[in-house]
Structure 1
Amino acid sequence: MKSSVTMMTQTTAALAMMAALAACSADEGDAADAEGAEEAEGHGAEATAGEVTGETSEPSDRETSEAGGPTPRLALTYDGGVQVLEGATLDTLSDHSVEGFLRLNPAGDGRHLFLTAGESFRLLDAGTWGEPHGDHHHYYTTEPVLTDITVDGDTPGHVVAHDGVGTLFFDGSGAIHTFDLEDLDAEAELETAEAAVDDAHHGVAVTLGDGSRLETIGEGEERSGARVLDPSGEEIAASEDCPGVHGEAALSNGTLALGCEDGALLYADGEFTTVKAEGSLETADGYARTGNLFPAEDSTVLLGDRNLDPEGEEPMTEIALLDADSGEMTAVDVGAAYNFRSLARGPEGEALVLAEDGLLHAYDESGEQLWELELLDPWEEPEEWQEPRPAITVDGDLAWITDPDQQQIHLVDLAEEEIINSAELDVVPNEIALADGRAPEGAESTEGADDADDSGGHENHDHEDHDHEEHDH
């Protein structure tokens, strides 16, 4: 079986070529738009909101097609709904009307996402997945569908997938719902196991492979740290040395990290340790918040935002690079403001920052600038965190970046440091999230299944680690 790195490189190269060809075809076909509109609608390409709607098939009625490789799909929210785009061509595949402010989180299995709408997490099937079959993989696509499957509760917050288990956290009640990722299915209700923290707060929980659970400690607006409970609910480790604890990141070596107002809190081998923003990294009052952390594969270095103003009035212009192995933290001045939707990791562990100067900045793990790419006009973060602003999400060598002001989306080849495709949107994009369409590590092989299953009639929803939370508020 090919290594995941080799598969990712081949996949992203193929997608980059597809995107470039799609962009060229679009340029050549401008004069024939009217003639080709009917044909495009049939493939979900270049469709307007009037052509692609939430009137999707019943999940069981959808046709499945085998693809030549993984087919990433991007979901994006807007005021009034959520769209699903084809990752390479950026064509709109479906458009679903949903009222209220919406948030997006990958479910962790490479296929599904959770749409936070009102008082529920609602399952969105992006319709792309992969299955291992002996020494190779099969990949499939079908029509995206926003299901009626929900997990309901008071103020849904963070979604985390780890060790094959998904965990949903409800801020308003402190309720925790867990489920096996392989149980995600657009055609079946999702059964969850329920638990709760002692006091409701804006928090997060992570269920580990041995059945133990890490959960944050807090009450109302105050959050102080985290603890770990064994499968029977007995506390086995705890730390309240993490003021304002927020977010979650999982490193490849199994270490879990949480952001604090004075650094970060790490959990590994049954113990908590802290990494403090000390010396030149701390402010006069000791406040130096790292509220969102982003890992990279096979690296011990985490990228974090760095907020030095407890009132939240001054923009963030520095990032934090935290080595969970050595306990060292480095601050890097980007030279321009950014926000919590601006950060991501590149294929070689690069720290990527989409800043208000319109540039995508790339740094190595020591903090040295590698390159920068002009993408957008200069912009300013809106006052309300719910309002649209540029966002970035990454898969291998490829990055998807939104431009709400221009109602555009760009596909960037990070290896070549260039835009390879762009598309006009008929909505103002807000949050984005990706379903990568790959067979997750550890997925059960379908070798030996009957012909119907091997052709795509069988759907395998196994697990993939979800390494970070990309939101803040």
Structure 2
Amino acid sequence: MKPQTPAAALAALALLLATGCTNAAPPQSPPAPAGSASPEGSHGDRPGLAEAAEPPLHLVAIDAAGQAAMLDLLSGTTSQPARVQPPDGVTTDGRYVFAANSAGVDIFDSGAWTWDHVDHFHYYRAAPRPVGTLAGDGTPTIAGGMLSTAGTTGVFFPASGTAILLDNAELSDGRITEALRLSVEPHAGIIAPLGDGALVTEAGNGGTAARVRAVDASGKQLATAECPAAAGTITTRAGLVIGCADGAVVATADGHTPVLHHVPYPEGAAAPATSFNGRKGRPTVAGTGSDAGVWLLNTRRHTWEWLPTSAPVLAAATADDAAGHVVVVAGDGTVQVYDAANKERVARTEPLLAATLASPDLADHIHLTVDAQRAYVNAPAEGVVHEIDYADGARVARTLSMPTTPVHLVETGR
């Protein structure tokens, strides 16, 4: 079904270039992690952009051959802005799309982003465009911060142990510029922006990470923390997360001083989380591992909660709204919604992913993204993306077709 243009979108378009600050931030938001606050004045402006009245949300799909396609969720218009090398994985910071392969990462600018001022937001549109390629050895892990136009983005190449911070302001001008490059022992590692520096993992035995180091903008070590089998990272308003076999490290920056909090799992915990997902910026994130359930990590309170599910979990994300919704893609192909407070399932769809789950090549490419109103789940074999209203009984609001098969899916404009 072709998406229709809502009346709100027409009003938004009429207000382009005329809109000031939009007071849309959640109440009582804490100070943002160091390095995530925007500099005074610039708002990420550059020639050719327009300020919008509401988030310019887009879906970006990339097929197995590397053809990218974008769908404007307000207007329903589609485009094919770039072709990249066939990716192993695709991530986004809410603006830039990072398509990683074994020889590097291709980057393109979706032209849709939100500038987070903590107490209010600004929304921008510009023409999408390729940025370029960062070459490296081994499929890299990508880690972004709270802002796409300021600060840095981490890229870690496992085969060489090369850890790089990319300058986001330079990306906005179409240039790939390194703010920091470190060489460590090769391993399945992470470098993630923290303040003016970063957290970077150190290798242990067997090619896995054993600890994390906080470094400044020059690479000087400032602090360390044990983090056995480090895997998975996400940044929230309250801190930077790196998952560990025994819990997580939640890092903040007090001025130029990093503060590393170890948050251990409860005694007798289930399998550790190896990936994290949630609505951008919100403090509670969903961690998934190998068990039928979801870890909920509150990065503000430094607490874990275990949410059991009725089926194995393929993907999960927190909305972190007043109702405490947790959205889960279950192994039976249904999308389920849980109440985090009561640990109860409150809604589910019919199975939506039968053909995808039956395809070994596609079953590992099911992606879930959640924003303030909707969740999006790709069905590559079916060739569609399902838009789920998670607050309305997991209603399938739209079934969206895109110009390319959505093997990889991310959402930008957030």
TM-score (norm 2): 0.74
With 78-87 and 188-197 compared, the bigger mean Cα shift is at 188-197
In the alignment, the residues of structure 2 paired with residue 212 and residue 292 of structure 1 have an alpha-carbon distance, to the nearest angstrom, of 22
Deviates more, 1:156-165 or 1:295-304: 295-304
How many Å separate the matches in 1 of 2:138 and 2:378? Answer: 27
Structure 2 counterpart of 1:161, from 144, 166, 180: 144
Distance 1:267 1:367, change over 3 A: farther
What is the deviation of 1:275? 0.8
Give 1:303's aligned residue: 286
| DSSP 3-state at the match of 1:258 | strand
Matched, 1:5 2:43: no
Distance 1:217 1:97 in 2: 34
Partner secondary structure for residue 25 of structure 2: helix
1:393 deviates by 0.8
Residue in 1 aligned with 2:408?
431
Match among 230, 234, 237 for residue 249 of structure 1: 234
CA distance in 2, matches of 1:136, 1:323: 22
- 1:344 is matched with 317
Instruction: Show the counterpart of 1:181.
Output: 168
Alignment RMSD (CA, Å):
3.4
- Measured in 1, the distance between the counterparts of 2:263 and 2:121 equals 41
Identity across the alignment (%):
22
After TM superposition, the structure 1 = structure 2 runs for residues 22-421 of structure 1, keeping only pairs within 5 Å, are 69-80=54-65, 81-88=67-74, 90-94=76-80, 96-106=82-92, 108=93, 110-129=94-113, 141-147=125-131, 149-162=132-145, 164-185=151-172, 188-209=174-195, 211-218=196-203, 221-240=207-226, 242-254=227-239, 256-268=240-252, 270-279=259-268, 281-282=269-270, 288-295=271-278, 300-307=283-290, 316-324=291-299, 328-339=303-314, 342-346=315-319, 348=321, 349-366=324-341, 368-369=343-344, 371-377=346-352, 379=354, 389-417=365-393, 418-421=395-398
Q: How far apart, CA to CA, are the structure 2 residues paired with 1:262 and 1:114?
A: 29
Q: How far off is 1:122 after superposition?
A: 1.7
- Number of residue equivalences: 359
Residue 192 of structure 1 deviates from its aligned partner by 1.0
Q: Distance in 2 between matches of 1:325 and 1:111?
A: 25
List per-residue Cα deviations over 1:322-356 (Å, max 9, x = no partner): 345665433222111222xx121225052211112
Q: Is the 8 A contact 1:301 1:365 kept in 2?
A: no
The alpha-carbon deviation at position 199 of structure 1 amounts to 0.6
Structure 2: distance between partners of 1:298 and 1:92: 27
1:434 and 1:247 map into 2 onto residues whose CA distance is 19
For residue 305 of structure 1, report the CA deviation from its aligned partner. 0.9
| Secondary structure of residue in 2 paired with 1:336 | coil
Measure the CA separation in 1 of the matches of 2:130 and 2:236.
31
* SS at structure 2 position matched to 1:113: strand
Deviation for aligned residue 1:204: 0.9
In structure 2, the residue corresponding to 1:183 is in which secondary structure?
Answer: helix
Q: Kindly provide the CA deviation profile for residues 381-421 of structure 1, in whole angstroms up to 9, marking residues without a partner as x.
A: 57968755432112211222212232111222333342222
Which of structures 1 and 2 has the bigger CA Rg?
A: 1
Q: Which structure's relative contact order is higher, taking Cα pairs within 8 Å and 6+ residues apart?
A: 1
- What is the CA–CA distance in structure 2 between the aligned matches of 1:132 and 1:344, rounded to whole Å? 21
What do the CA deviations read for 1:213-270 (whole angstroms, capped 9, x no partner)? 2111215622212121234434332233x3221011233223x322223332333462
CA contact (8 A) 1:158 1:203 kept: yes
Q: When you count helix as a share of all residues, which structure comes out higher?
A: 1
| Contact 2:70 2:402 survives alignment (8 Å) | no
Give the TM-score normalised by structure 1.
0.66
Give the whole-Å Cα distance in 1 for the aligned partners of 2:180 and 2:106.
Answer: 17
Contact 1:247 1:258 in 2 (8 A): yes
Alpha carbons of 1:200 and 1:76: their partners in 2 closer, same or farther (altered >3 Å)?
Answer: same
Amino acid at match of 2:87: F
Is the contact made by 1:175 and 1:194 (CA closer than 8 Å) also made in structure 2? no
Distance 2:185 2:116 in 1: 43
Q: Which runs of 5+ in 1 are unaligned?
A: 8-61, 283-287, 308-315, 439-473
Q: Is contact 2:338–2:346 with CA below 8 Å preserved after alignment? A: yes
Closer/same/farther in 2, CA of residues 389 and 112 from structure 1, 3 Å limit: closer
Query: Contact (CA 8 Å) 1:217, 1:224: kept in 2 or not?
Result: yes
Letter in 1 for 2:25: V
Partner of 1:201, secondary structure, is coil
Instruction: Give distance in 1, aligned partners of 2:200 and 2:359.
Output: 30
Q: Which has the larger share of strand?
A: 2
3-state SS of paired residue (2:169): helix
Change (3 A) 1:197 1:128: same
Sort the Cα spacing of 1:361 and 1:318 in 2 relative to 1 into closer, same or farther, 3 A: same
Does the CA contact (< 8 Å) of 2:282 and 2:320 recur in 1?
A: no
Shift of 1:152: 1.4
Task: Please give the alpha-carbon distance, in whole angstroms, between the structure 2 residues aligned to 1:391 and 1:300.
Answer: 21
Q: Any gaps of 5 or more consecutive residues in structure 2?
A: 1-20, 28-46, 253-257
Structure 2 counterpart of 1:395, one-letter code: D
Is the partner of 1:246 in helix, strand or coil? Answer: coil
Counterpart Cα distance in 1 of 2:279 and 2:116: 24
